[in-house]
Amino acid sequence: MKKLEVSYNDVTGLEGAAERANHDPALRQALLDLGFQTIGLLECRAPGAINFEGMKRFVNADDLAMMADATENGEVDEVLTSHDRTIFATVDTFFGGPVVVMRTIFENGVVVETVTRPERGALRAEKNSGLPLVGGLAGKMAFGSLPLWARQDRPRWGYHVELVDTNQPSELWQRHRQRIAELARTLQTSIRPQDNIPLYIALSRRSFEITSYAGQWQTRIANGLIGAFFVFLFAVLLLGKGVMVSLRDQMGFVGEMSIYLLGAIVMAVLMIPLSVALTRLLVPRLPGPPLKPAAELL
């Protein structure tokens, strides 16, 4: 599988960049009123990150177009820092409306992220045209299992995420300050000044590393289940010869194969919720990418 490449580019001062980063003037002003100051503009690109042909049958056309524009053409965010230089803040575009994201990276590399809870995730397509029944059902189940926010809470991996039920930057700011104060005491670490684009890029790369690592484990679990399914199917065919003969005598060859086909379909559909359940159970308990001090991430 081709490795996903994500690029981060400092576009501060480039023509048109400020307009592309102005996702919500009211939220931006609210951050400025809290004492946050702009330190620069950052563009993120992830070409090839999404299989749009495969997703267009499941995802709402408008939401898919938004995803396509962000990954292929890049999304520009205005990066701000708090008055005490302990918090990065951005106003990010998202489904249903923009969200405010506050992040802090400690000297030991631990990251804290606090986000206004998004109104919704991507909407489903109204119709799964061109898909067989089983494919459509499997797609809906897989789509429904997607997390609301891609960056998940992984405390064992040094990444702490919390979605806060508010649309007020002031409330988010208070909660984030509380969280970093508590973690600083617990971890006995300090915060380097969160006031420059290179450090924010390092934080963003660490965020992407965590998300990608979790995705790799999810793929391994899914592939393992597929392998187990075929082993199980082979064992049934090998050990159930007597049952097969009996079915053939009672129902004929077509009836026998229909039962096996139905069983295979049921197993295939059940693998999706089983894969999701195992991923949610196992991945947070697995060792994550090695924790690196902030100085080494720069």
Q: How many domains does the chain have?
A: 1
What is the extent of the structural domain holding 133?
7-297
Residue 56, token pair as written in the block: 């267009």
Tell me whether residue 121 is in a domain: yes
The pLDDT value given to residue 206? 95
Residue 99 has what pLDDT? 97
DSSP 193-212: ----HHHHHHHHHHHHHHHH
pLDDT recorded at residue 155: 95
Q: What integer pLDDT is reported at residue 126 of this predicted model?
A: 67
pLDDT for the residue 113: 98
Looking at residues 183-197, what average pLDDT do you find?
96
Domain presence at residue 69: yes
65-122 pLDDT tens trace = 888 888 778 899 999 999 999 999 999 999 889 999 999 999 999 999 999 999 988 7
Is residue 58 a part of any domain in this protein? yes
Query: In a 10 Å sphere around its CB, with 0-12 CB exposed, 13-18 middle and 19+ buried, how is residue 211 labelled?
Result: middle
For residue 122, tell me if it sits in a domain. yes
- Whether residue 2 is contained in a domain is answered as no
Residue 293 within any structural domain of the chain: yes
Residue 236: which pLDDT band, with cuts at 50, 70 and 90?
low
Would you say residue 1 lies in a domain? no
pLDDT of residue 71: 79
Q: What is the distance between the alpha carbons of residues 29 and 287, in angstroms, rounded to a whole number?
A: 40
* ∠ Cα 81 99 181 (to 5°): 45
Mean pLDDT of 22-37: 97
Which residues are CB-neighbours of 142 under 8 A, at least 6 positions away? 272
Q: Is residue 252 part of a domain?
A: yes
Average pLDDT, the chain: 83
Top-confidence residue, 153 or 268: 153
pLDDT greater than 50 at residue 143: no
